[in-house]
Amino acid sequence: MNLKTKVVAISLAVVGLSSCATDNTKATDKDVVNEQTAKESKNDLIKRVFSRAEVQYTSLINEIGDKTPLLNPRSVKKDGSLRMAWREDWTSGFFPGTLWYMYEYTKADKWKVNADKFTMAIDSAQFVKWHHDVGFMVENSFGNGYRLTGNEYYKQAVIDAAKSLSTRYRPVARIIQSWDTDAPWIAGRGWDMPAIIDNMMNLNLMYKATGYTKDNKYADIANNHAAATLKNAYRDNGSCFHLVDYDHKTGKVRSTVNFQGYSDPSSWARGQAWGLYGFMEVFRETGNVDAKNQAIKIADYIMNTPKIPADKIPYWDYDDPKIPESPRDASAAALVASALIDMSELVPEKKAEYLAYAEDVLRELSSDKYLAKEGTNGGFILMHSVGNFHEDNENDSPLNYADYYFMEALVKWQHIKG
C-alpha cells in the first residue's frame, strides 16, 4: 500500500468514527494489519498465500478421502467436523472451483486431477431445476474447468445448466425466480415469486451459454433479470435489499425484504457484494451502460460508506447494532476485491481507485487476522466469514466461497499491471 492510499484509509476511518453511531472500529486497526503485509511484494504475497492454500487443501482432500458419496466440503461445524455440501446445495461448486484456481496458479497436475474429481462429483448439478443456484454450482466448477482445459464435456454441462436455469424464467415479471414457494425455508412467509440479489451471480452462466450455442434466449433472460433487479432491488444510495417478491399473475413487486440481513432497511454485506459482482459481469459480458453505471454506483457505496470499518472487512450486516461485537464477513470482502479487480480493467478512469481498495482488502485477508495457519481452520484458507447469520451454524466460520473468491481475486490480481 502506498502512503497516499494509507492516508485516504485513515481519513475514511476518521469520517467513519464521527458519522456512524454503530461503528466503533478503531482507526488504528488498519495500521496494525498493514504493517504485517504492506512491505511484501504483490508476487511474494500471492505466492505465500497459494503455498498456504496448497497445505490446507491437501489436508482437506486427505480428510475427505474416498468416502462415498463423494461430496465437497462447505464449512466446519461447531464440533470441529467438516460440513459437507450436498450435490444440489448452492455451495457445491466452490471447492472444485478453488481447486481449478490452484491448478491455474501452480500448473501442477495434482490440482487438475483433484479439480476434475470434485467437479465430476457434482455432475448432476447441471440438471437442478428446483432452485436458481446452478450458476454458482456449475460455472465455478465445470465453467472454470472448461476455461482451463477446453474439455467439451465441461462446456456441455454449462449449456445444460443454462437450460435448467431458463426453466425458472417468469416472463410476467421478466425475472428468474430464485426459490419455489414451497421450499422448506420459505414456506409460510407468504411470498409469491421471490428473486434474491444472489441471483445476479447466475447470469454469467447464461451469457456463456449464448456464446457457446449462439442462441440469444439465455442472454435475453439474463438482461431482463438484471434490468428488473436494478429497478426493484436497489435503493437510491446504491445499497440493495436481499429479496424482491413479485406477483406471479401481474409481475408487480409485492414487497422488498432482507431475509438474510439484519432488518429490511439494513445492508446485508454479502448482498451488496453479490450485486456489485453481478452488475460488473453483466457490463463485462454485454457492454450495457445501465449495468456499468449500476456497478459504479454500488462500488461507490461500498467503498465510501462509513459503515465499513477502516480495515475494509465488513461486518456481516453493515447495520447490525451489535457492531463491533458482531462477526466480520471475509467472504463479502473477498467478493468485493475480486469484482473491483475486474472493474479496474472495465472502467479505466477509476482503475487506481478500484485497485487500491482491492489491494487493501487482499492484504488484510492475507494477514494473520484472516489467513488460517497451517493445520487449522478445518483445512480451509480464510477464517471469519458468516453464512446465514440467522441459522447460527456458520457464524465466524470458514466458508468454501470465501476461499473461492479470495483465490480468484489473487489469480486475477497477479495479471493486473499497475
Q: How far is the CB of 335 from ligand GLY (least distance, A)?
A: 9
Residue type, 325: E
In the complex, least distance from residue 150 CB atom to ligand GLY, rounded to whole angstroms: 30
Distance from C-alpha of 233 to C-alpha of 268, rounded to nearest angstrom: 13
Looking at the Cβ atoms of 73 and 387, the one nearer to ligand GLY is 387
Q: x-or-dash pattern for ligand GLY, window 174-213, by CB under 6 A?
A: ------------------------x---------------
| Helices of type H across 203-286 | 203-213, 217-232, 269-286
Query: Are 49 and 29 a contacting pair, CB within 8 Å?
Result: no
The minimum distance between CB 402 and ligand GLY, in angstroms, equals 11
Q: Which CB, 286 or 388, lies closer to ligand GLY?
A: 388
Report the DSSP pairing between strands 169-170 and 72-76: unpaired
Binding of ligand GLY by 317 (CB under 6 A): no
Catalytic residue numbers, as ranges: 133, 198
Q: Find where cell 467438516 sits.
A: 82
Q: Residue 177's Cα: distance from chain center in Å? A: 20
| Distance in angstroms (rounded) separating the CA atoms of residues 203 and 402 | 20
Closer residue to ligand GLY, CB minimum distance, 16 or 96: 96
Strand order across the beta sheet in which 253-257 lies: 193-196, 243-246, 253-257
Q: Per-residue x/- marks for ligand GLY, 228-267, CB under 6 A? A: --------------------------------x-------
Q: Which is nearer to ligand GLY, 270 or 384 (CB)?
A: 270
Window 339-368: residues binding ligand GLY (CB under 6 A) = none
Residue placing its CB nearer to ligand GLY in the complex, 208 or 270: 270
CB of 357 to ligand GLY, least distance (A): 21
> What Rg, from alpha-carbon coordinates, does the chain have?
20
- Residue 37 vs 272, nearer CB to ligand GLY: 272
Where in 379-418 is the site for ligand GLY (CB under 6 A)?
387-388
Question: For residues 261 and 306, which CB has a smaller minimum distance to ligand GLY in the complex?
Answer: 261
| Residue of 50, 90, 277, 318 that binds ligand GLY (CB under 6 A) | 90
User: Least separation, in Å, of the C-beta of 372 and ligand GLY?
Assistant: 21
In 87-231, beta strands by DSSP E: 169-170, 175-176, 193-196
Contacts of 318-323 spanning 24+ positions with Cβ under 8 A: 318/239, 318/266, 318/267, 318/268, 318/269, 318/272, 319/22, 319/262, 319/263, 319/265, 319/266, 319/267, 320/22, 320/262, 320/266, 321/22, 321/262, 323/22, 323/23, 323/24
Nearest residue to the partner ligand GLY, using Cβ: 198
Considering only residues 38-77, where is the footprint of ligand GLY by CB under 6 A? none
We find the least distance from the C-beta atom of residue 132 to ligand GLY, in angstroms, to be 9
Specify the length of the chain in residues.
418
Read off the amino acid at residue 369: K
Binding footprint of ligand GLY, residue count (CB under 6 A)? 6
Among the listed residues 270, 284, 297, 369, the single contact to ligand GLY using CB under 6 A: 270
How many Å apart are CA 52 and CA 56, to the nearest integer?
Answer: 6
Instruction: Report, in Å, the least distance between residue 203 CB and ligand GLY.
Output: 14
Which residues sit at the interface with ligand GLY, rule CB under 6 A?
90, 198, 260, 270, 387-388
